[in-house]
Amino acid sequence: MKELSIHIPVSVKDETELRPEDIKLLDEARRATSRSYAPYSHFSVGASVELEDGTILSGSNQENAAYPSGLCAERTAVFYANSRYPDLAVRRLCIAARDTEGNFTARPISPCGACRQVLLETEQRAGHPIEVLLYGTQGTYCLRSIKDLLPLSFDDSFLSDKD
């Protein structure tokens, strides 16, 4: 038997350790939580993306009584960015959330599986890693790439004749 070990570096920083451009992206993700429509879960998520030209856009989760019909904040932000600026790649992503009491979560939240797959393809289209910031009041997780969120991922390379 062969064993595979996967190591994913994650920096955990408090706000004083974040760069000014990180704070700007983080502030937009936090603001986006207030635009969430979450009447069922009462869990408000905001995501912000920075495009390669420095433009920052955001999205929030949008729920529906028919649960599969809603959309997560991460996909809302990325789809909005791609529909508004199809020729500009996403450079960075930040996610923040408020719990059912309306407080920012202490621990950072991470994207769901569907969002991870969409984000991975967004990164592949960009042709470079997308930096990820996952905000929590007890620290922000900083990752180098979307691939760090989905290390054993399915991508278009499986659909071709390449190894």
Nearest of 29, 56, 69, 24 to residue 45 by alpha carbon: 29
Instruction: Tell me the CA distances in angstroms from 26 to 105, 120, 125, 134, 146, one per residue in order.
Output: 14, 21, 24, 9, 17
- The residue behind tokens 């569907």 is 114
Averaged pLDDT for residues 108-135 = 96
Please, which residues bridge with residue 144 across strands? none
* Within a domain: 2: no
Instruction: Provide the CB-side half-sphere exposure for 87 (13 A, CA).
Output: 0
| pLDDT at residue 109, rounded to an integer | 96
Residue 76 identity: T
| pLDDT at residue 110, rounded to an integer | 96
Domain count, the chain: 1
Averaged pLDDT for residues 147-160 = 85
Q: Is 48 helix (H, G, I), strand (E, B) or coil?
A: strand
| pLDDT at residue 163, rounded to an integer | 54
| pLDDT at residue 157, rounded to an integer | 77
Dihedral pair phi/psi, residue 93, rounded to 5°: -135, 140
Q: Do residues 94 and 29 lie in contact, with contact meaning Cβ atoms separated by under 8 Å? A: yes
Q: Is 104 helix (H, G, I), strand (E, B) or coil?
A: strand
* Within a domain: 76: yes
pLDDT 10s digits, 36-51: 999 999 999 999 999 9
* Within a domain: 23: yes
Residue 162 has pLDDT above 70, yes or no: no
Is 17 one of the catalytic residues?
Answer: no
* Within a domain: 94: yes
Domain hosting 87: range is 11-149
CATH number at residue 38: 3.40.140.10
The active-site residue, picked from 74, 101, 121, 123, is: 74
pLDDT 10s digits, 53-96: 999 999 999 999 998 889 999 999 999 999 999 999 999 999 99
Mean pLDDT of the chain: 95
Residue 127 identity: G
* Within a domain: 117: yes
* Within a domain: 155: no
pLDDT > 70: percent of the chain: 98
* Within a domain: 163: no
Of 153 and 108, the structure prediction assigns the larger pLDDT to 108
* Within a domain: 74: yes
> In sequence order, what are the residues at sequence separation of 6 or more whose Cβ sits closer than 8 angstroms to the Cβ of residue 68?
none
Averaged pLDDT for residues 139-160 = 89
